[in-house]
Structure 1
Amino acid sequence: MKSRDSDHAFFGQPRGLSTLFFTEFWERFSYYGMRAILLYYMYTKVSNGGLGFSESTSASIMSIYGSLVYMSSVIGGFVSDRLIGPRRSVFWGGILIIFGHIVLSTPFGAPALFISIALIVLGTGLLKPNVSEMVGGLYSEDDIRRDSGFSIFVMGINFGSLFAPLIVGWIGQTYNYHMGFSIAAVGMFIGLIMYYFDGKKYLTEDSLVAPDPLKPGESRPMVRKILLGILAVIVVLIAMYFVGVLNVDNIILLISIIGVLIPVWYFIMMLMSKKISTVERDRVKAYIPLFIAAVLFWAIEEQGSVVLALFASQQTNLQLGSFTIPASWFQTLNPLFIIIYTPFFAWLWVKMGKHQPSSPKKFDYGLFFAGISFLVMVIPVLMFGTHTKVSPLWLVLSWALVEIGELLISPVGLSVTTKLAPRAFQSQMMSMWFLADSAAQAINAQVVKLYTPGTEVTYFTVVGIVTILFGVILLFMTPRIEKLMDGVN
C-alpha cells in the first residue's frame, strides 16, 4: 500500500477514502430511508398500515431512537479500541443493521419495531464511529488534505441520504411501509459486500488491530462492570414496574437522562486517565466547549426528521399541480444542500490553507446559521396562523440555512476530533463526537413534546435564540480554546 502522503488515487485523496465513502453511502441510504417514513408509520392508524401511536409519543421515540444510535457508538469505540479493531467492527455492525431492517419489514407491529431498534442501534454503534476513525487514519497528522477529505466523506454520507427518502419514502408512503423498510435492508447489504472486498485492497493493516487491546487480567473486571450495568438497568425497570410508572414515556425519560450523563462521565474518565499526556489532557479540555456547541447544533439539525417532518405533513401545501408531494421527500433537503455546498467548502479550506478560520471559529459561525434556521420558521406562522398550509419554500429556506451550519461543524468536528484525540482513546474519542448527537437527541426526546401548532412561535424562537447566544459565548472563549488545542487547528 502507498504511503499516506503519496496516495492521491481518489480525486487527490487516498484510495481508501473511496471504500469508506461508499460504505457510508449505503449505510446512510438504509438508515435515512427508514427514518424518512418511520415517524409517519408510527402515528398512522393501524387500519392504514401504521402502528397507531400518538404523534407526541412517535416524535419522542424518533428522537430517543436517534439518541440510542449515537449513544451506542461508545460500545463500538470500545469494541474497536480494545477487542477487534475498527475494520472488523464495521463489518459486524453492518450485519446487525441488515437484520434490523429485515425485522422492521415484517408485519409484526410494535414488537418488530422495538427489536429492529435494538439491532440497528447496536449495528450503527459498531459501524459509524469506526468508519470515521479509519478516514482519519488515511492521513498523517500534518496532511492539509484532511479537512477536505472529511468533507468529501461527508458528501458520500449525504448522497446516500439524498436518494433514500426519494426511493424508500415514495415506496413506503405510496404503497406499503414494510416494502419501504425492505428496500433499506437491501441498501445496507450492497454496502457491506462492497466494503468487505474493497477494504481488503485499500484499507490500512492498522485498521485490523485494536490500538489498546485488553491486557491479561482486564477481561474479568470488564465483564463484571458490564453485568453490573445490566443488573442496574433491570433493577430500575423492576422498580418502575412496581410503582406503576413503567411505560414508554418514562423509559424514554430514563434514556434521555442516561444520554446526557454518559458524555459527562466519559470526559471525566479521559481527563483522569493516566494513559494521556499533559498536552493530550489540555486538548480534551479544549474539546469540551466544542462538544457543547455540537450538542446545540445537532439539537436543531436532528429536528428536521421530527418537528419539521410534522410541519411538512400537517402545515405545508403539498400539492404541486395534480401531484401530491410525499411529506417524506422533504428529508432530501438536508443532504441536497450538503451536496450543493460541500464542493465549495472543500475548495475553500484547501484554498485558504493555513489561513482558514480555526475549528472553534467555524463552530461559532455554524451555531449562528443553525439558530437563524429556526427563527425563520416563526415568520410563516405569524403571517398565516397555525391552521393555514404554507408554501414549502419556508422549509426549503430553513434547511438551506441549517446546512451551512452543518458544513461548518460536522466535517470540521469529525476532523478536529481525530486531531485532539489522545492516542489511547482514538476510537472512543470519535465516539464522543457521536455522543454529542446522542445527547442532543436525548434532550430533543423531551423537548419535542412541547411542539404543537399552538406553541410553534415560542418553540422556534426560544430554541433559535438559545443557540445563537451560545455561539456568541463560544466566540469570546475561542482564544482560550485555541491555546489549549496546542497547535491543532
Structure 2
Amino acid sequence: MASRDTSSEKTFFGHPRGLFTLFSTELWERFSYYGMKALLIYYMYDHVYNGGLGLDQGTAASIVSVYGALVYMSGIIGGWISDRILGSRRTILYGGILIMLGHIALSFPGGLAALFISMVLIVIGTGLLKPNVSNVVGDLYSKTDSRRDAGFSIFYMGVNLGAFIAPYIAGTLGQKINYHLGFGTAAIGMALGLIFYVVTSPRTLGKAGLNVPHPLSSDEKKTVYSRILIGIIILALLVIIGALTGHLTINAFTTVISILGVLIPLCYFIVMLRSKRTSDVEKSRLYAYIPLFIAAVIFWSIEEQGSVVLAIYADERTQLSFGGFTIASSWFQSLNPIFIVILAPVLAAIWTKLGKRQPITPHKFSLGLIFAGLSFLIMVIPAIVNGTNALSSPIWLALSFLIVVIGELCLSPVGLSVTTKLAPSAFQAQTMSLWLLSDACAQGINAKLTPLYNAHTEVSYFGYIGLVGVLLGIVIFFLSPMIHRHMRGLD
C-alpha cells in the first residue's frame, strides 16, 4: 500500500505531486548518465592525439557493455541498503552524491586511471539511486490504483527527457571541443538533480520512501558489517593477485561479469522463493515473474546495443554530412529518448483510456520483444541493398530506434509497474533491484556479443539477434494465459 492517501491529489497530470519531484530528479540523473554514455565508447577508441584513449574498438565495446552491466548489477546493493538500513529516500541522496563525484573524476584528463575511478563511483552511486527512485514512485500509489501504469509512464518520460537533452549538450561539447568538457557537463547535471531533490522532497513526498521495510537488528549489524569488511578485503586481495599474475585481463573480467549477470538473478529468485517471509500467493507471483524477466533480458540485450553497436554504426557506417553541415555521431543517442518523450504520453493515455480492457502485462511484454527484434532485422536491409562499404542513410538508424522505442514503451514502464506489484512485501526494493538485473544480465551477455560486430558480420549479426527477439516474443504471447493465472489477480 502507499505510505499516504494520494487519491485526491491531482497536481501533476492528475497524479500525486511527489511524482514531479521524482520525475525531475531522475531527469537530471539520466542527463548525467546518458551524457557520459553518449561519449564513452568514442572516448575509449578514439586516437590519443584526438583526446581519446586509443583502445581497440572491440575492447571498447566490451568495456561499455560491462560498465552497463555493473551499473545495473549494483542495484542489488542499493536495494539491500534501502530495505535493511537507510530506506529509499536517504539511499537516493547518497547515490546521487557518488554519481556526481564519478562524473567529476572523468572530467579530468587522468587516462585509464580516471576512467576506472569514475566507473567505480558511478556504478555504486547508480546502484543506490536508480532502484530506489522507482520504488518510491510505486510507494505513491496503492497496488490497485488504476493510475499506476500511467504514473510510471509519465515518470519514464522524465527519464528519457534527460537522456534526450544530454547528447546535444555533453555529446557536442565532448566531440567537437574536448571529451572532458562533455563529462564535466554530466557532473553539473547530477548536481542540479541533487539540489532539486533535497529542496522539494520533504514537501512533496511525505512519508513515501522513509520506511525501512526490514531493518537490521543490533546483533545483525555486527555480523553483516563484519562480513562486508571481510568481503572487501578478499576482493581486494583477488584483484592484487590477479594483477600480479597477469590473470586480471579485460577478457577474463568480462567473462566473470557475464557469468555473474546470470547467476545473481538466479540466486535472487531462489532466495525469495525459499524464504519463510514469502507467502504462497507471493511465490505464485514470483513464478509468473520469471518468464517476464527472461523476456526483459532479451529485450534489453537488443535495446542496450543502441549505445554500443549502433553508436559504432553511426560513427562509421552512416552518412553524417549534409550540404556542408556535419552532425555529431553522438546525436543519434538522442533518438531513443526523444521518441519516448513523444510517444510515452500517447501510450499512457491509451492504457488509462482502456482501463480494465487494456492488454494484460504478458501481452505487453510479447509486443515489446517483437518490436525489439524487428528493430534489428530492419538494419539488415541497407547492408543487403548497398553493401557494407557504402555509407547508409541515417533514416535506417532512425527507423531502428523508433521501432525499438515502441517495444520499450510496451515493456519497460509496464515492467517497472508489475515488479512493484509482484514484489513480496519483505523484498520490495530488492525485487526492484531484480528488475534492474535484467538489464545487467543483458549487458553482461552483450560484453561477449558486441565485439563480434563488424562490417563483415553485419548482416548475420543483426539478422540472427533480431530473429531471436521476434520468436521469443511469439512464445511469450502463447504463454501469456498461464503467466497471468500465476499473477493471482494482478494485471
TM-score by length of 1: 0.98
Q: How much does 1:9 deviate? A: 1.1
Alignment-derived partner of residue 210 in structure 2: 208
Tell me the secondary structure at the aligned position of residue 9 of structure 2.
Answer: coil
| Count, aligned residues | 489
Letter in 2 for 1:459: Y
**Any idea what the Cα deviations from partners look like across 1:255-313, whole Å, max 9, x if unmatched?**
22112211111111100111111001111111010000000000000000000000000
Letter in 1 for 2:129: L
Determine what percentage of the aligned residue pairs are the same residue.
56
Alignment-derived partner of residue 38 in structure 2: 36
Alignment-derived partner of residue 246 in structure 1: 248
Alignment-derived partner of residue 17 in structure 1: 19
Q: Which stretch shifts more, 225-234 or 199-208? A: 225-234
Name the CA shift for 1:441/1:2 in 2 (closer, same or farther; >3 Å): closer
**Any idea what the Cα deviations from partners look like across 1:304-353, whole Å, max 9, x if unmatched?**
00000000000000012111110000000000111111111011001100
Residue ranges of structure 1 left out of the alignment (5+ in a row): none
User: What is the rounded CA distance, in whole Å, between the counterparts of 1:405 and 1:109 in structure 2?
Assistant: 38
Alignment-derived partner of residue 467 in structure 1: 469
2:228 to 226, 229, 243: 226
Q: How much does 1:20 deviate? A: 0.2
1:268 to 257, 270, 283: 270
Letter in 2 for 1:400: L
Letter in 2 for 1:222: V
Tell me the secondary structure at the aligned position of residue 218 of structure 1.
Answer: helix
1:107 to 106, 109, 130: 109
Alignment-derived partner of residue 423 in structure 1: 425
**Any idea what the Cα deviations from partners look like across 1:126-171, whole Å, max 9, x if unmatched?**
1000000000000111110000000000000010000000111001
Q: Does the CA-based 8 Å contact 2:4-2:140 persist in structure 1? A: no
Q: Which stretch shifts more, 25-34 or 208-217? A: 208-217
Q: Does the CA-based 8 Å contact 1:5-1:140 persist in structure 2? A: no
**Any idea what the Cα deviations from partners look like across 1:38-63, whole Å, max 9, x if unmatched?**
11000111111011111011101111
Q: How much does 1:224 deviate? A: 4.2
User: What is the rounded CA distance, in whole Å, between the counterparts of 2:139 and 2:334 in structure 1?
Assistant: 30
1:485 lines up with 2:487 in the alignment:
yes
Q: Does the CA-based 8 Å contact 2:35-2:186 persist in structure 1? A: yes
Q: Which stretch shifts more, 471-480 or 117-126? A: 471-480
Name the CA shift for 1:262/1:229 in 2 (closer, same or farther; >3 Å): farther
1:382 lines up with 2:384 in the alignment:
yes
2:354 to 352, 355, 358: 352
User: What is the rounded CA distance, in whole Å, between the counterparts of 2:251 and 2:322 in structure 1?
Assistant: 38
User: What is the rounded CA distance, in whole Å, between the counterparts of 1:233 and 1:267 in structure 2?
Assistant: 25
Q: Which stretch shifts more, 220-229 or 110-119? A: 220-229
Letter in 2 for 1:464: G
2:69 to 47, 67, 70: 67
Alignment-derived partner of residue 56 in structure 1: 58
Q: How much does 1:236 deviate? A: 4.6
TM-score by length of 2: 0.97
Q: How much does 1:216 deviate? A: 3.2
**Any idea what the Cα deviations from partners look like across 1:7-51, whole Å, max 9, x if unmatched?**
111110000000000000000000000000111000111111011
Equivalences for 1:324-343 in 2 at 5 Å? Answer: 324-343=326-345
The two structures, once aligned, show a CA RMSD in angstroms of 1.3
Q: Does the CA-based 8 Å contact 2:301-2:442 persist in structure 1? A: yes
Q: Does the CA-based 8 Å contact 1:134-1:207 persist in structure 2? A: yes
**Any idea what the Cα deviations from partners look like across 1:144-200, whole Å, max 9, x if unmatched?**
000000000000001000000011100100000000000100000011000001001
User: What is the rounded CA distance, in whole Å, between the counterparts of 1:308 and 1:64 in structure 2?
Assistant: 17
Letter in 2 for 1:171: L
User: What is the rounded CA distance, in whole Å, between the counterparts of 1:322 and 1:39 in structure 2?
Assistant: 26
Residue ranges of structure 2 left out of the alignment (5+ in a row): none
Equivalences for 1:99-178 in 2 at 5 Å? Answer: 99-178=101-180
User: What is the rounded CA distance, in whole Å, between the counterparts of 1:379 and 1:277 in structure 2?
Assistant: 50
Q: How much does 1:244 deviate? A: 3.6
